[in-house]
Amino acid sequence: MQTSKKRQITDTWDEAECKSIIEQLWTLRQSMQTCEAGLGALLQDVDSSYKASARNLTHYLALRQSDRRDLQEWLSRVGLSSLGRAESHVMANLDKVLGILHRLTGQSWVPHSKDEPVGIKTSLKLLERHTAELLGAAPAHRIVRIMVTLPSEAARDFGLVRRLVVSGMDIARINCAHDGPNEWKAMAAHVRRAARTMGRPVRILMDLGGPKLRTGPIASDAAVLKLKPVRDDFGRVLSPTHVGIRLAGSMMPVTGATHHVGVEAQWLAQLKVGDQLDLTDARGADRTLRIVHQDEAGFLAECVQTAYLVPQTQLRRRHAGVEQVVTALADLPCKEGLLHLERGGSLRLTGAAVVALPRKGRAKAPRPMPTVVCTLPEVFAQVCVGERIWFDDGRIGGVIRRVEPTWLEVQITHARDSGEKLAGDKGINLPDSQLDLPALTEKDIEDLAAVAQHADMVGLSFVQQASDVRALRERLHELGKPDLGIVLKIETRRAFENLPELLFAAMACKAAGIMIARGDLAVECGYERLAEVQEEILWAAEASHMPVIWATQVLETLAKTGLPSRAEITDAAMGERAECVMLNKGPHITEAMRTLDDILRRMQTHQTKKRSLLRALRAWSVPGEAAS
């Protein structure tokens, strides 16, 4: 029944109207069967454990092809199921309503259970089974699993991993966009060891980097090290600055040093404790360093005056009766380069190597256009003038104004009044562009060898179409891991639009799930649409009886600062509708995990998926009852 032809609803029972509704429901049922038959080729490739789920998904797609709100309103008015929570057992729910309406109108009813792939009980069992296959068994006290992204330190700090497991981590996520095979191996070994120590299972997801568009490195104007002693209010030195002097290229820290510089090996070999080193700093000021300590990493020098060291600075060893020997400095810290972008200004994206910041010239000289590298310049041939582009998780926005084979010109349209700073290694999103990029990059294919050895499941980043899933499955088969679990990360607009075909492709696996990667998804689809989009993904996944991972920025402020915002507490509670919630790394991650555990344990008694649970409300009583 279309909204434009909305019927007048009264409280009077109208049998003719009821029979009209029955006809609509039969028509809807027939459309479900037609949809299932039309998608027969897709259903043939589905794994046997997902056959019933795939059929149910076809019925759900048919249900949502038209506006059913008038129909829902009528069914609710007469006290029947409105089909609003039928995702997991669509045809069975429809048949229940039809059976009741037939009896209300005095018509005979023969059950049609042979046409129904699942019922309400079997659908719950299927979801439980599919979730356990991918994510492992749920903890005893909580239905929803907790996944935590491991920081790089997890490769060398077993204690850190053990604390995560003790705090309730059910799944460890290793991001293959960072670190390397040796570090991933160490992380996985620490997770397995900690799980054995605690006597409970912890699974490992290794997340492939995928064809992520990012800004390339931006060189700073100069490498400079500022040495500044601590002084009191009268300018007297309370504590000198301590700088470590070590072999150029060395990473070993000198004991007591807060800063380090590298020097030539031959010059370093002549130093000894008590030596004084003269220098002229970047401002032309003469300064002296004094060697106060030596260890296996190098020498510790102290400075009691402020000094600015640059690569051109030379250290001169002062020694009585001996000609001064000098050394150049190396390994000076280089601040991260930043581009200052203003609304209305322009930015050039190139496929070149490292881009230097524009230097200040004469007042009348034209200022060069800020320029940054794009890590995947092949997209230049796939974008058009007028399409939007976003940087750094949507913090900076623009429109493509010019397209050339080796560069793009972007006009900045979204930035604060004071402008924005754009750094290297920040994400780039092109929500309007139809990008044709393989989900598996050459690096991903190399990384899969490590994934096959150490992981329980693999995350497919920036998946867009069913062929991406098939390509991953073929690679896993070649590696002898055809049954490795697969997680499809839904993080682009195209992936969302192609979600049904992606779900059917995933159901060819024995263990599969989807991750709602809300960071990129919000930028791609628009922040104003994120709530709607994530709801629709949850519905489709429930119709497929496929586990969902609720990801990106969950309790992020708490994990990073130790203080949560009210909004993110509510957001975390929404994660109860998924089968797993992912937390990102941060200095307060264990506190975030304890908070999330508490939220999920509370919410699971109030809600399951879209359905509210009528648990007794302990906070309230009927007014007057307590007194009586």
Is the per-residue pLDDT at 314 higher than 70?
Answer: yes
Q: Which residues contact 132 (CB under 8 A, 6 or more apart)?
A: 138
Residue 464 DSSP one-character state: -
Give phi and psi for 215, each to the nearest 5.
Answer: -75, 145
Q: What was the pLDDT predicted at 357?
A: 47
Per mean pLDDT, which range of 27-31, 194-198, 321-325, 491-495 is the poorest?
321-325
Is the per-residue pLDDT at 9 higher than 80?
Answer: no
Tell me the pLDDT band of 512, cut-offs 50, 70 and 90: very high
Among 201, 147, 143, 137, which residue's Cα sits nearest to residue 172? 147
Per mean pLDDT, which range of 127-131, 266-270, 302-306, 620-624 is the poorest?
620-624
C-alpha separations of 620 from 159, 221, 570, 616, 626 in Å = 44, 64, 22, 9, 10
Give phi and psi for 200, each to the nearest 5.
Answer: -145, 150
Per mean pLDDT, which range of 219-228, 285-294, 459-468, 505-514 is the poorest?
219-228
From 3.30.70, 2.40.33, 2.60.40, 1.10.287, which CATH number describes the 223-328 domain?
A: 2.40.33
First to last CA, the chain: 51
Q: Using the CB atoms, write b or e for 333-358: b if 16+ within 10 Å.
A: eeeebebebebebbbbbbbeeebebe
Asked whether 469 and 513 are in contact (CB, 8 A), the reply is no
Asked whether 248 and 330 are in contact (CB, 8 A), the reply is yes
pLDDT digits (tens, 9 = 90+) for 56-111: 999 999 999 999 999 999 999 999 999 999 999 999 999 999 999 999 999 999 98
Asked whether 272 and 245 are in contact (CB, 8 A), the reply is no
pLDDT digits (tens, 9 = 90+) for 558-576: 999 999 999 999 999 999 9
Euclidean distance between CA atoms 390 and 214, whole angstroms: 11
What 247-254 contacts at long range (C-beta under 8 Å, 24+ apart), as own/partner pairs, is 247/298, 248/330, 248/331, 249/330, 249/331, 250/297, 250/298, 252/296, 252/297, 252/298, 253/297, 254/295, 254/297, 254/298, 254/299, 254/300
Q: What was the pLDDT predicted at 324?
A: 64
pLDDT digits (tens, 9 = 90+) for 329-342: 988 887 778 899 99
The neighbouring-strand residues paired with 245 are 261, 299
Q: What was the pLDDT predicted at 5?
A: 45
% of the chain surpassing 90 pLDDT: 78
Q: Average pLDDT of the chain?
A: 91
Q: Which two tokens stand for residue 568?
A: 């993110």
Query: Which numeric CATH code is attached to 141-211+438-612?
Result: 3.20.20.60
What 299-302 contacts at long range (C-beta under 8 Å, 24+ apart), as own/partner pairs, is 299/244, 299/245, 299/246, 299/254, 299/268, 299/271, 299/273, 300/242, 300/243, 300/244, 300/245, 300/254, 300/255, 300/256, 300/257, 301/242, 301/243, 301/244, 301/245, 301/277, 302/240, 302/241, 302/242, 302/243
Query: Which numeric CATH code is attached to 338-429?
Result: 2.40.33.10
% of the chain surpassing 70 pLDDT: 93
Among 264, 401, 235, 257, which residue's Cα sits nearest to residue 327? 264
Tell me the pLDDT band of 12, cut-offs 50, 70 and 90: low
Q: What was the pLDDT predicted at 458?
A: 98
Is the per-residue pLDDT at 605 higher than 80?
Answer: yes
Q: When comparing pLDDT for 15 and 540, which is higher? A: 540
Residues recorded for the chain = 628
Is the per-residue pLDDT at 4 higher than 90?
Answer: no
Using only the alpha carbons of the chain, give its radius of gyration: 31
Find where tokens 């829902």 sit.
Answer: 72
Euclidean distance between CA atoms 414 and 420, whole angstroms: 9
CA dihedral 221, 227, 229, 233 (to 10 degrees): -20
Q: What was the pLDDT predicted at 325?
A: 80
Euclidean distance between CA atoms 410 and 386, whole angstroms: 9
Asked whether 285 and 226 are in contact (CB, 8 A), the reply is no
pLDDT digits (tens, 9 = 90+) for 102-153: 999 999 999 898 999 999 999 999 999 999 999 999 999 999 999 999 999 9
Beta-sheet pairing, 241-247 with 259-263: parallel
Euclidean distance between CA atoms 504 and 466, whole angstroms: 8
Asked whether 172 and 150 are in contact (CB, 8 A), the reply is yes
For 493, counting Cβ atoms within 10 Å of its Cβ (0-12 exposed, 13-18 middle, 19+ buried), the class is buried
Among 387, 426, 425, which residue's Cα sits nearest to residue 403? 387
Find where tokens 């509704």 sit.
Answer: 21
Is the per-residue pLDDT at 203 higher than 70?
Answer: yes
Asked whether 459 and 212 are in contact (CB, 8 A), the reply is no
Euclidean distance between CA atoms 490 and 531, whole angstroms: 14
Q: Using the CB atoms, write b or e for 588-622: b if 16+ within 10 Å.
A: bbbbbbebbbebbeebbeeeebeeeeeeeeeeeee
Per mean pLDDT, which range of 173-177, 305-309, 366-370, 405-409 is the poorest?
366-370
* Helices marked H in 225-371: 265-269
Euclidean distance between CA atoms 174 and 162, whole angstroms: 15
Q: What was the pLDDT predicted at 355?
A: 46
Tell me the pLDDT band of 611, cut-offs 50, 70 and 90: confident
Beta-sheet pairing, 512-517 with 548-551: parallel
Per mean pLDDT, which range of 317-326, 331-340, 492-501, 549-558 is the poorest?
317-326
Is the per-residue pLDDT at 34 higher than 80?
Answer: yes
Per mean pLDDT, which range of 56-60, 220-224, 299-303, 539-543 is the poorest?
220-224
Asked whether 150 and 165 are in contact (CB, 8 A), the reply is no
Q: When comparing pLDDT for 553 and 320, which is higher? A: 553
Is the per-residue pLDDT at 3 higher than 50?
Answer: no
pLDDT digits (tens, 9 = 90+) for 153-176: 999 999 999 999 999 999 999 999
Among 68, 81, 83, which residue's Cα sits nearest to residue 6? 68
Q: What was the pLDDT predicted at 354?
A: 45
Residue 451 DSSP one-character state: H
Tell me the pLDDT band of 320, cut-offs 50, 70 and 90: low
